[in-house]
Amino acid sequence: MFDPIRILVVDRDKVAARNLKHVLDMEGCQVTTLFGGAVAIKHLDAGASDLCQFEVILADLGLDSVKEGFFLRHCLRLQPATELIFISDKISINSVVDAIRQGAFHYLSKPIRPNELRQAVMRAAENSRHKQRQQGIRRQLAEHKEDQIPLITRNSSMLRLLEQAGRVAPLDLPILITGETGTGKELLARFLHDTSNRANKPFVAVNCGAFNEELLANELFGHGREAFTGAVRDHKGLVETANGGTLFLDEITEMSSNMQVKLLRVIQEKELRRLGATSPVSVNVRFLAATNRVVQEEVEAGRFRKDLYYRLNVIDLYLPPLFKRQGDVPILVQYFLAKHAETINRRVSGITHAAMECLANYTFPGNVRELENIIQRAMAFATGAEVTENDLPESVRLRKTAPIMQRVDNRLLSLEEMEAKYIQWVCEEVNGNQTMAAKVLGLDRVSLWRRLKKMQSRPDSSANNGNEKR
C-alpha cells in the first residue's frame, strides 16, 4: 500500500494507546489517538461526511462506559467503510462471534504481539480499501446515464473507442464492429444509432447465423402476396422495417455467398425486391455489421465477398476482450449486482475481497457476457449481503494464475526468469498451441519459437511447453 493507513486508536489508558501508536508509527501508518469511546464517537460524527475518515479503528473499551455493541453500531453507521478491531484482555467466544456477526473485523487479546497487530491492521486496511472502491463504483453507477454511456468502462482504450464511436456516429456511414463473442458489439451498435441523426427512427437487429439462406432472405427482404403457399399478404422484411433508421447485421460472416450478393445490391442501389414481387422498394437504411471472426482471413479464404467487405468496412471499430481490460471487472461486477438485485437476490449488494481476487485472476473466455452469468449464479447461491469466494463457480475459484511472482530458493526471480515462466505458463494454458500462445503474448510465431528454443537450451530449463502442438 503506498498511501499511509489511517488508523484511530481508542483507549482510556493513555499509556497503552501511545504504545499502540508507537508500533504503528514505525510501520508508516497515520495514527490518531482518542481517549474514550464517547470522545471517539463525537469525533467520528464530526467527520461523517468523509467517505472513510479512518480505514481501521483499534478500540479497547474494557474500562469504558461505552459498550462494544453500541460503539460498533455507531462506527458502522458513521464510517461504513472502516474496519473495527476490538482489543480486550477478557475475550469470550460468544462475545467475539456476536461482534463479528454485527460487523467487527477482528479481536486482539492482550498482551498484543507486534507482528499480530501489524498483520491484523494490514488485512483490515486492505478490506477497508476494497469497501471504499466498491462505494466509489456505486456512486459512479448512480450517476451513470444509460442514454449517454453504452458500455460501462474505465479502461483508457475503451474510452478512446467510445470517443471515436461518438465522432463517427452522426456521419451516416457503414460501420463494421469486430471483437470476440460477448464483448458488447450490439451495445456499441445501439450507441452508434442513438447518437446518430437517425436516433428517433427504428433500430433493428438480426443475427445472420440464426437462419438458413432461404429464411434469412425472407427475414431481411420480406415477400409479396402469393410468393409461396400460405403467403396471403405482403410481408415487410427487416430492411424495410428499419427504413429511415439503422439495421444491425450481427455475425455477418455467417451469411451465405448468395445472400452476400443480394445484400450488396441493396446497399449499393438503396432498393430491394421482396420475394415473389416484381417491383423494387426504395429504402433509406444505415447498415452496421458485426462479427467475431477475422474478416480479412474470411475474405482471403473466399468465404466473404471482398466487395461487400469494402462496402461495410468504411469504418472499423474493434472491441477488446475483457481480459485486456481487467480494470473494468470491479465496476461491471457492481453494475450486474445492481441490475439483478430485484430479480435474483435483492439482499446481495457487494462482493468480498477474496471473491474479487478470484475474478481478477480469471481470463473470461466468454467476456462480459460470461462475467454477467457468473455474477447471476453467485447471487443465486449467496446467503449473505456479499458474494463470497465459495459462491463462484469452481472454474473461477481454481483458475491458475501466472507464476511470475513466486520465489526460487527463497530469492526473487530476475526479469528474464519471470518472462520465461510466463511464456511457459501461457503455453500450458493453451495446451501447447503455439499460434494461440503467440497471439496471447503479442508475438509472431517465429519470435515465440526463438524464445522457446532459448529457454530449452538453458541447463536448468525444465520447460517442455507442449512445443510439438502446432
For the domain made up of 168-317, the CATH class stated in words is alpha beta
> How much is the pLDDT for 459?
53
| 32 conformational bin, left if phi > 0, alpha if psi -120 to 50, beta if neither | beta
Residues 6+ apart with CB under 8 A from 37: 10, 59, 61, 64, 65, 66, 70, 71
Q: List the chain domain ranges.
A: 6-142, 168-317, 322-396, 415-457
Of the listed ranges 92-101, 261-270, 329-338, 379-388, the least confidently predicted one is 92-101
CA distances from 56 to 110, 132, 164, 184, 286 (A): 18, 12, 43, 40, 56
Reported confidence tier of residue 249, pLDDT bands at 50, 70, 90: very high
- Residue type, position 164, single letter: Q
pLDDT of residue 11 exceeding 80, the answer is yes
CA–CA dist 82, 296 (Å, integer):
53
> How much is the pLDDT for 463?
44
Q: Is 76 exposed, middle or buried (0-12, 13-18, 19+ CB in 10 A)?
A: middle
Instruction: Flag whether the pTM goes above 0.75.
Output: no
CATH no. of 415-457: 1.10.10.60
Of the listed ranges 87-91, 231-235, 432-436, the least confidently predicted one is 231-235
pLDDT in tens, 156-200: 888 888 889 989 999 999 999 999 999 999 999 999 998 899 999
Residue percentage of the chain with pLDDT more than 70: 84
CA–CA dist 41, 27 (Å, integer):
26
CA–CA dist 188, 166 (Å, integer):
10
Reported confidence tier of residue 226, pLDDT bands at 50, 70, 90: low
Are domains 168-317 and 415-457 of this chain identical in fold? no
CATH 2.60.120.10 fits 6-142, yes or no: no
pLDDT of residue 65 exceeding 60, the answer is yes
Question: What mean pLDDT is reported for the chain?
Answer: 82
> How much is the pLDDT for 3?
74
CB atoms within 10 A of CB 228: 10
Short-list 175, 164, 128, 196, CA closest to 295: 175
Q: What is the 3-state secondary structure (H, E, C) of the chain?
A: CCCCCEEEEEECCHHHHHHHHHHHHHCCCEEEEECCHHHHHHHHHHCCCCCCCCCEEEEECCCCCCCHHHHHHHHHHHCCCCEEEEEECCCCHHHHHHHHHHCCCEEEECCCCHHHHHHHHHHHHHHHHHHHHHHHHHHHHHHCCCCCCCCCCCCHHHHHHHHHHHHHHHHCCCEEEEECCCCCHHHHHHHHHHCCCCCCCCEEEEEHHHCCHHHHHHHHHCECCCCCCCCCCCECCHHHHCCCCEEEEECHHHCCHHHHHHHHHHHHHCEECCECCCCCEECCCEEEEEECCCHHHHHHCCCCCHHHHHHHCCEEEEECCHHHHHHHHHHHHHHHHHHCCCCCCCCCCEECHHHHHHHHCCCCCCHHHHHHHHHHHHHHHCCCCEECHHHCCHHHHCCCCCCCCCCECCECCCHHHHHHHHHHHHHHHCCCCHHHHHHHHCCCHHHHHHHHHHHHHCCCCCCCCCCCCC
Mean pLDDT within 370-398? 90
All three cell numbers of 259, joined, read 445472400
> How much is the pLDDT for 357?
85
pLDDT in tens, 339-357: 888 788 778 888 988 898 8
CA–CA dist 132, 54 (Å, integer):
11
CB atoms within 10 A of CB 275: 16
CB atoms within 10 A of CB 224: 17
Mean pLDDT within 31-36? 89
Reported confidence tier of residue 148, pLDDT bands at 50, 70, 90: very low
All three cell numbers of 88, joined, read 480486550
Short-list 176, 182, 369, 205, CA closest to 291: 176
> pLDDT: is 188 or 37 the higher one?
188
CATH no. of 322-396: 1.10.8.60
| 409 conformational bin, left if phi > 0, alpha if psi -120 to 50, beta if neither | left
> How much is the pLDDT for 377?
93
Q: What is the 3-state secondary structure (H, E, C) of 300-368?
A: HCCCCCHHHHHHHCCEEEEECCHHHHHHHHHHHHHHHHHHCCCCCCCCCCEECHHHHHHHHCCCCCCHH
pLDDT of residue 91 exceeding 70, the answer is no
> pLDDT: is 69 or 98 the higher one?
69
pLDDT of residue 101 exceeding 80, the answer is no
